[in-house]
A and B are shown apart, each in its own frame.
Chain A
């Protein structure tokens, strides 16, 4: 808090004040709130709750930050004055009224924020040396003080926490190093006192653990697949396209995992037990099997049919039925958990926290993709952003002039496109259903297929994939008219999927389904390839050669993600019927990655609409993913629970349904006395309705509680938001009043040129300007102190507890505000109270500072009127002033006037201590302002 301390240095009252201790103490409490959102400090809540902010504990903080504001203005407004926009004369005046004064107020606040982070990092490059010299000592002592506090805090933490905390300090490397050294030194010094073997051991342990963790992190880094490619894509196309590839990679990992699980627990035991595949002699590998999945593959471990229902006798008995059942079940459950967790976290991050209200600010403040490294991409990005900004500006203007007929038209388009897309989806579903029935009839004869027959089985997946490619085109056509219909694709995809799974009533139906899914997967893959080659490549050719109007295509992240989701759903459904399908899927995704990458870099341009696309995509993916996974899961579960497994092949032959494997197993277990508990669990938990009933009740209760919690939080958020807005309103109101007051005072009170006389340097314009500023503030602070004393006196008179008296101060401020409101009309008639003078003095100091800087820039002709006006003003106030007097005499006058003002002030305070707030309304106004400021600071701290 370099700045805060220096604020104190300039302010003599600061040192005199009794609240100095309080201040110090307070500072400690808020210095290390490095993370405003994690700052759920109970102390803060208590503080917030027990009174209106701005109560006693803040004491001088309002004042302090007020004076701190000087820093920011001395550098801030200055540079603003010099290098701000020459192209907006009108806006500059607007800025001045809007930003000039207010920045004085909040400068302090923000400085507090930067506080320690900025220390030593050339905090005030614009600030003048005199300032720095004056403040240096205090800054140094404060910095040291603070560092000590920080180090103390750090020492109290565990080693891991320490490292993390130090990592998270927003400071330069050297400073972090310094802090760490000190902490380490302290630790070792304390450790040398007690030679506890145990703590030493613990420390070593934790150290080695951390090393190990770091090692794993590094190893993961090296193992990162496609790091270079990812960087290249991110550098050229931005992060929104990159999300597609990250998603693809994630899916690939997912499939590798499922392949390992299935292969390890189902296939390997079988292969170890019996290597020879029992392939009939008349079946040979013909090549077409790779596409159809039928024939030769039918007799391998690829499908359900390839597995036996025996118990494998090896080193240990391995029950194939149970292995098959539990592997699939556990795999599905694991998938569900992984999905739910990743969905929830992404949902939380992307959806709950995002706020549509701040979309425009976001566009500018945090949309720039720093990972872009390609010169062309950067240029394109800039152009896009500019177009987008212009669009949004004009859109905004348009929005205001929207008519009823336009709205009706939009609703009509919306309904129409919705209806059309639904029809399309239903039509697709129906056609596939009939096609499947036809295919079934064909497949009824069980004789070995001819090549042609086998090829016919490809018809269904071919049509399905074709639809997959064509339908999105229609949908994107709808998109041209209407914005939000993309998610309707979900319907048709679901329909296609479910209808393609009509049951085959043959003797060995599971492998048939497996084959059908295999075909779907393969054909889908082919179409994906064709899609990217023809879709993107052709439109690129068309866009560049034939129809330049269309332009180079963009990479459609939404469509591509949907294709991936569809592919993955197929794999999920297929896992029961064909345990090795993930292997195919794995290969598919691996190849797809390279194809998409090549297609992207060759054919596409970066997306024109940058922005929240990436975020929307994640929501989209997971909202979509969830129903898809649940769909797949329910299909598999239905198969396992209700359908009778085929009688001649597969691990479950001869059972009523798949699940009865478990009951048979339990039955067997009953014979073994040591496994009673398993039986008990099965009887009383798995099979008992009561258990599920209770479980459901508990879950519902928990959900209800959480729901209530979120409702409460929402309310709280609304309240807090309202509060912020109110604070803002109050502040702007008070500022306005202040400005009115200043304007209505033609007679300007003396400005404090003492310092200027002392230094006598014309060159130090800035410093003198800001110092006189600070003097004005000192005056204000003095006045405030007086007021507080009054307050205390009045409080003791009525013998009220001190904290009530402070909240009374707030009340007073409120009252004063009301009064100020009432007084505005009669301001012109009211006599200038001393504090108004003080305020005016401040304003004057500022003005003068501005005129001086202006005068440096602008030619001399400007100057005489200004000085003249000023002198005339003074004349208005002081009848005795001499218009021709030089500057130094003005200063003397000024001092005299100030003394007089102070005397007046004292006189006014003395007679009526209790009702004092009545007379100098403007002083109360200032107090009110300070209180506001303080309240805000406090809020900020907490926040």
Chain B
């Protein structure tokens, strides 16, 4: 811990604290875990990025069905390759931390579920979402009819303006009604 603390300057640390929902310990732990993912020669460089494949090996993400989406949403590369800089990594942890607000969490959840990045959850997105949540093997899949009905049900309940898609405000509306969300949208290192 001591070495990482010295690597992470005091000014940086306080800035990280001010800009994220993380505490000092969490940031230090995150830094430790992050440098573990870096190859040896890059350990000391400040702008090193960890590729997506490495990020996905984290035990906290390994079995998450949305792991690729999470990487893509939080990565700030252009074009987006899902790799994480330390800032991105903190961003990710901050959004999934205990103290992040419902607003932040629902915002990122929406972006994670918005598979085609078009700003609304369309039928295609919902279908992918259902697949992510239930898909195990080919034979256990929901049938086409079930899928269709499921999506109609979802839209019936959450699509307030009846435009066939769920937009962010509608999504946040649904989420504000489900108090479990804040506790379940959580990843702690």
Contacts and interface: CB of A to CB of B under 8 A. Distances in A.
Contact of A362 (B63, B78, B177): B177
Contacts, number: 281
B contact patch SS: helix
Given A167-B21, A176-B19, A382-B135, A36 B169 contact: yes
B136 interface: yes
A776 B78 CA distance: 32
Nearest to B16: A173
A88 B80 contact: no
A247 B19 CA distance: 31
Given A87-B144, A88-B147, A365 B64 contact: no
B142 A113 contact: no
Contacts of B21: 167
Given A354-B177, A373-B63, A221 B26 contact: yes
B46 interface: no
Contacts of A172: 74, 76, 87-88, 91
Interface in A715-740: 724-725, 727-729, 731-732
B52 interface: no
A110 B117 CA distance: 12
Interface string B155-170: 0011011111111110
Contact of A361 (B26, B79, B87, B174): B174
Given A366-B175, A368-B133, A724-B160, A360 B116 contact: no
A111 interface: yes
Interface in B35-72: 59-60, 62-66
A382 B177 contact: no
B34 interface: no
Contacts of B144: 85, 87-88, 91
A84 B123 contact: yes
Contact of A943 (B24, B91, B130, B169): B169
B60 to A, nearest CB: 6
A389 B184 contact: no
A370 B119 contact: no
B169 A113 contact: yes
B83 interface: no
A170 B176 contact: no
B117 A371 contact: no
Contacts of A355: 177
A630 to B, nearest CB: 25
A382 B65 contact: yes
A122 B78 contact: yes
A98 B124 CA distance: 13
A1 B162 CA distance: 24
Nearest to B184: A369
A728 B103 contact: no
B15 A177 contact: yes
Given A168-B104, A386-B134, A349 B179 contact: yes
A107 B96 contact: no
A537 B162 CA distance: 51
Interface stretch (A73-81, A744-752, A911-919): A73-81
B133 A364 contact: yes
Contacts of B101: 168
A285 interface: no
Given A103-B163, A163-B18, A172-B87, A386 B124 contact: no
A121 B130 CA distance: 26
A419 interface: no
Nearest to A358: B157
Interface string B78-102: 1110000001101100001000010
A218 B129 CA distance: 36
Q: How large is the interface on B (under 10, 10 to 19, 20 to 34, 35 or more residues)?
A: 35 or more
A295 B5 CA distance: 57
Contacts of A239: 180, 183-184, 186
A702 to B, nearest CB: 27
Given A368-B65, A378-B64, A217 B23 contact: yes
Interface in A227-247: 231, 238-239, 242
Contacts of B164: 95, 98-99, 102-103
Interface string B137-157: 000101010111110011001
Interface string A370-386: 11111101110011011
A84 to B, nearest CB: 5
Nearest to B98: A221
B132 to A, nearest CB: 8
B10 to A, nearest CB: 12
A94 B157 CA distance: 18
B187 interface: yes
A126 B117 contact: yes
A282 to B, nearest CB: 57
A163 B168 CA distance: 25
A623 to B, nearest CB: 15
B178 interface: yes
Contact of B188 (A98, A163, A180, A231): A231
A907 to B, nearest CB: 36
Contact of A125 (B117, B147, B158): B117
Nearest to B151: A91
A357 interface: yes
Which of A217, A358, A368 gathers most chain B CB within 10 Å?
A368
Which of A102, A168, A358 gathers most chain B CB within 10 Å?
A358
A750 B28 CA distance: 64
Nearest to B147: A88
Contacts of A743: none
B163 A373 contact: no
B19 A382 contact: no
Nearest to B101: A168
B129 A121 contact: no
A214 interface: yes
A75 B116 contact: yes
B176 A37 contact: yes
A676 B41 CA distance: 79
Contacts of B60: 373
Contact of B177 (A91, A124, A168, A353): A353
A227 B51 CA distance: 29
B174 to A, nearest CB: 5
Which of A102, A163, A379, A727 gathers most chain B CB within 10 Å?
A102
Given A378-B65, A383-B140, A166 B161 contact: no
A615 interface: yes
A214 B104 CA distance: 21
A76 B118 CA distance: 5
B122 A218 contact: no
Nearest to B182: A349
A186 to B, nearest CB: 16
A242 B184 CA distance: 11
B176 A353 contact: yes
Contact of A102 (B126, B163, B166): B163
Nearest to B124: A84
A114 interface: yes
24 contacts: A72-B118, A76-B120, A106-B163, A126-B117, A172-B76, A172-B87, A173-B19, A174-B76, A221-B23, A358-B157, A362-B177, A362-B178, A365-B154, A368-B184, A370-B66, A370-B187, A373-B60, A373-B64, A382-B134, A382-B136, A386-B142, A393-B153, A725-B160, A936-B161
- Shortest 6 CB-CB contacts between residues of A and residues of B: A76-B118, A99-B164, A110-B167, A173-B87, A102-B163, A386-B134
Given A358-B157, A732-B162, 16 more contacts: A72-B118, A84-B123, A85-B127, A98-B123, A110-B120, A110-B168, A123-B117, A218-B24, A354-B177, A364-B133, A368-B66, A371-B184, A371-B187, A725-B160, A728-B162, A729-B162
Interface of A: 34-37, 72, 75-76, 79-80, 83-85, 87-88, 91, 94-95, 98-99, 102-103, 105-107, 109-111, 113-114, 117-118, 121-126, 163, 166-168, 170, 172-174, 176-177, 180, 214, 217-218, 221-222, 231, 238-239, 242, 349-350, 353-355, 357-362, 364-375, 377-379, 382-383, 385-386, 389-390, 393, 396, 611-612, 614-615, 724-725, 727-729, 731-732, 936, 940, 943
